[in-house]
């Protein structure tokens, strides 16, 4: 059994889904672990992770629009230390997930035909986000 660990920096351009599948898959392949379990951890409280469809960009647009309606800015939040998008970003992160676990087989993450791994940025301004990748297997 072997383990590998890596920190992946992801630049965002404001709210939206950033596909990190290729970066994650390249790192997994380079570890030469054929079968195992990959954990991806987002080190932030205003961004999250999703596995979602990668074929139709309307899916991502609809998800982003849904979260804007579900958790609007200027809704009377007490916590607005960093602006009106601050607390909505924390709520969106709480409603999604900050870690994913993905099986690895034949040296690659096991994803469905239409699946991709996304960092979901919830803040209005561009950010540099850090994902921690941990792979265990043989």
Distance CA 59, CA 47 (A): 18
Return the percentage of the chain with pLDDT > 70, whole number: 100
- Tens-digit pLDDT profile for residues 86-133: 999 999 999 999 999 999 999 999 999 999 999 999 999 999 999 999
| Beta strand spans in the chain (E) | 2-11, 16-19, 36-42, 47-53, 99-105, 108-109, 115-121, 128-137
Question: Which residues on adjacent β-strands are paired with residue 3?
Answer: 136
Distance CA 1, CA 48 (A): 29
Under a CB-based contact definition with an 8 Å cutoff, are residues 114 and 26 in contact? Answer: no
Residue 14 is predicted with a pLDDT of: 96
Residue 37 is predicted with a pLDDT of: 98
Find the mean pLDDT for residues 74-81: 93
Question: Which domains does the chain possess?
Answer: 2-137 (2.60.120.460)
Q: What SS3 class is residue 23?
A: helix
Residue 128 is predicted with a pLDDT of: 98
What phi-psi label fits residue 85: left (phi over 0), alpha (psi between -120 and 50 degrees) or beta?
alpha
Confidence category of residue 13, pLDDT binned at 50, 70, 90: very high
Find the mean pLDDT for residues 28-34: 98
- Tens-digit pLDDT profile for residues 46-56: 999 999 999 99
- Average per-residue pLDDT for the chain: 97
Confidence category of residue 8, pLDDT binned at 50, 70, 90: very high
């Amino acid at each position: 059994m072997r383990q590998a660990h890596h920190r992946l920096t992801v630049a965002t351009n404001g709210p939206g889904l950033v596909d990190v599948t290729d970066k994650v898959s390249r790192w997994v392949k380079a570890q030469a672990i054929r079968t195992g379990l990959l954990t991806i951890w987002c080190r932030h409280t205003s961004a999250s992770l999703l596995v979602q469809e990668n074929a139709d960009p309307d899916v991502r647009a609809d998800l982003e629009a849904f979260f804007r309606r579900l958790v609007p800015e200027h809704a009377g939040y007490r916590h607005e230390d960093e602006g009106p998008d601050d607390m909505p970003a924390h709520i969106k992160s709480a409603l999604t997930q900050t870690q994913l676990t993905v099986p690895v087989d034949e040296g690659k993450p096991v994803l469905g035909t239409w699946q991709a791994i996304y960092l979901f940025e919830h803040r209005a301004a561009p950010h540099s986000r850090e994902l921690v990748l941990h792979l265990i297997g043989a």
